[in-house]
Each structure stands twice: as C-alpha cells, then as structure tokens.
Amino acid sequence: MTTQITWCPGCTNFAILNAVKNIIKGKEKEFAITTGIGCHGKIYDYLDTSGVYCLHGRTLPVAFGIKMARPELKVMAFSGDGDIYAEGISHLIHMFRYDADLTLVVHDNRVFSLTTGQPTPTTEKGFKSKASPQGVKEKPLNPIKLALASGCKFVARASTLHPQQLQEILERAVEHKGFSFVEILQPCIIFHNDSEMIKKKAYKIEKKLPYKEAWEKACEWDYDDGGKIPIGIFYEV
Ligand SMILES: Cc1ncc(C[n+]2csc(CCOP(=O)(O)OP(=O)(O)O)c2C)c(N)n1
Ligand code: SF4
C-alpha cells in the first residue's frame, strides 16, 4: 500500500521515483527494496514493493541479507549522500569488494536534506549553511573515483535533470550481474539547488570505456568548481 507523498512540490526525487516505477511495473513481486533515512528514504512509502526501511547508513547490509536469503529477488538499495557517504561509507567500500548481486541508487543532493541542509561528504568547498556558517573547508569526496578505486564493476552517474537517460541507466544497473552503483545528481530545490550548474556542465558519456579512460573521466569533475560533468556509465565489466 502506498502512502501520502510528503516530498516538497517539485522535488527532483520524483524523477527517480518515476524511473523506478517504470522499471518494476507489473513485476513488483520480483523486487525487494531497502532505504536509508532521509528524504530519499520516503521512496519506500511510494513504491508498492516489499522491503525494509533501514537505520541511517545501513541500507546495504540489509539489502545484502535479503539477497542471501532470497537470491531469486532483484534487490535495490536506496540511499542519500549523507546516508551512504557519511554514516554508511564502510558498508559501501566493502560492498564494492563483495560484489553482491544488487543495485545501489544514491540520491545525491549534496546535503542532509531531511535535517535541513547540513553539508555531506559531497558538498562543495565554501558551501554555507547553519552547520557551516563560515563555509565548508574540506575538499569533497568523489564517489565515482572511490567506486573505481575499490574494484566496483558497474559504476554510473545519472541526473534527475536527464530522466530518460536516468531510467536507461537504472535498467542496465538492475540487469547487471553483481553489484551496480548508480550515483544520481538530485538537486534539493530547497537546501542545495545546483540545477543550473548541472544543466550547464553535464554531457553524456557516449561509449564504453576501458578502466584507465573511466578513471580519467571520473577526474573531470571532482564535485567542486571547474570541469564538465560526465553523465552515463563510466565502467561496466
Ligand atoms: C544514526 C543517525 N544519525 C542521524 C540521524 C538524523 N538524520 C535523519 S535524516 C538525516 C539526513 C539524511 O540525509 P541524506 O542521507 O543525505 O538524505 P536526504 O535527506 O538528503 O535525502 C539525518 C542526519 C539519524 N536518523 N540516525
Ligand atoms: S527538502 Fe529537498 S530533497 Fe527533501 S523533499 Fe524537499 S526538495 Fe526534496
């Protein structure tokens, strides 16, 4: 049973919800989902599938447990950037190594949105908020580089501003045998609206890349100023 939607009107999470709905439509019983805690986690309430609404940062170990117990299910884990790159980072690195057959979907809005906009590991330097009044001092984490360096065999970046491509990437990720990692740029229109910057800088990855070129592409944009933003599948083996 689905519940009343409490995302802000116009929230870019709707693009992810629509893509996932299209993918699982008519096959709801073949899927199980897990989520972290945050705005992203509400996707659990809006999909008609079985699953677990997990503790903050723990979407992956629970998804892994479901996959071990019910290997015939397609398992999708949802997370926010705060959820997986801060609280859940150790699970993520080990999941890259374990290569369990499940898909991680990261709604990366580059802030902790549900708790009103504190910076996360992917927030750019200089970002001011109630929790960082003098601006963020640290260089952001580049999750694409982390995935490639950790041996992940399906590494992709999508964007809610490119919904058709987003759905295609998610479809490929779900079909992939092994762990698939989809980092989605999902601007929070209330606390971190970088939609214009993404629109201006995004371009599509057109061809399959060998590892070295995937790494070079991942380095083009380090979640800070400068650089074009490649969107697509960086690496797939
Ligand atoms: C262990 C723990 N620490 C902190 C919180 C408070 N908390 C709830 S939601 C949230 C922010 C989630 O941010 P993110 O994962 O980026 O998801 P978003 O809301 O941006 O989708 C935090 C810090 C919590 N629920 N549990
Ligand atoms: S706070 Fe941001 S991410 Fe959360 S529902 Fe509103 S627009 Fe969406």
* Three-state DSSP state, 160: coil
Model confidence band, residue 1 (pLDDT cutoffs 50, 70, 90): low
- Percent over 90 (pLDDT), the chain: 98
Closest residue by Cα to atom 8, ligand 2, is 11
Ligand 1 centroid from CA 100, angstroms = 25
Q: Does 205 reside within a domain?
A: no
Q: At what angle do helices 89-98 and 59-69 cross, to 10 degrees?
A: 30
Ligand 1 centroid from CA 210, angstroms = 36
Number of domains in the chain: 1
Sign of the dihedral through C-alpha 179, 63, 109, 174: positive
- The mean per-residue pLDDT over the stretch 12-26 comes to 98
Closest CA to 102 of 133, 81, 71: 71
Q: Does 229 reside within a domain?
A: no
Q: Does 11 reside within a domain?
A: no
Q: Where does ligand 1 bind, in terms of residues with CB under 6 Å?
A: 36-40, 56, 80-83, 87, 107, 109, 111-115, 120
Q: Does 32 reside within a domain?
A: yes
CATH, residue 146:
3.40.50.970
Q: What is the pLDDT of residue 3?
A: 84
189 lines ligand 2 (CB under 6 A): yes
Instruction: Read off the pLDDT of residues 30-87 as tens digits, 9 standing for 90 and up.
Output: 999 999 999 999 999 999 999 999 999 999 999 999 999 999 999 999 999 999 999 9
- What CA–CA distance (Å, rounded) separates 203 from 226? 14
Of residues 1 and 121, which shows the higher confidence score?
A: 121
Q: Does 2 score more than 90 pLDDT?
A: no
Q: Does 230 reside within a domain?
A: no
Sign of the dihedral through C-alpha 6, 231, 64, 85: negative
Q: Provide the Cα torsion 37, 117, 222, 88; round to 10°.
A: -20
Domain of 143?
22-200
Q: Does 113 reside within a domain?
A: yes
**pTM of the predicted model as reported, rounded to 2 decimal places:** 0.98
Strand partners of residue 34: 52, 77
Closest residue by Cα to atom 12, ligand 1, is 38
Q: Provide the Cα torsion 166, 11, 43, 132; round to 10°.
A: 100
Ligand 1 centroid from CA 92, angstroms = 16
Residue type, 4: Q
66 lines ligand 2 (CB under 6 A): no
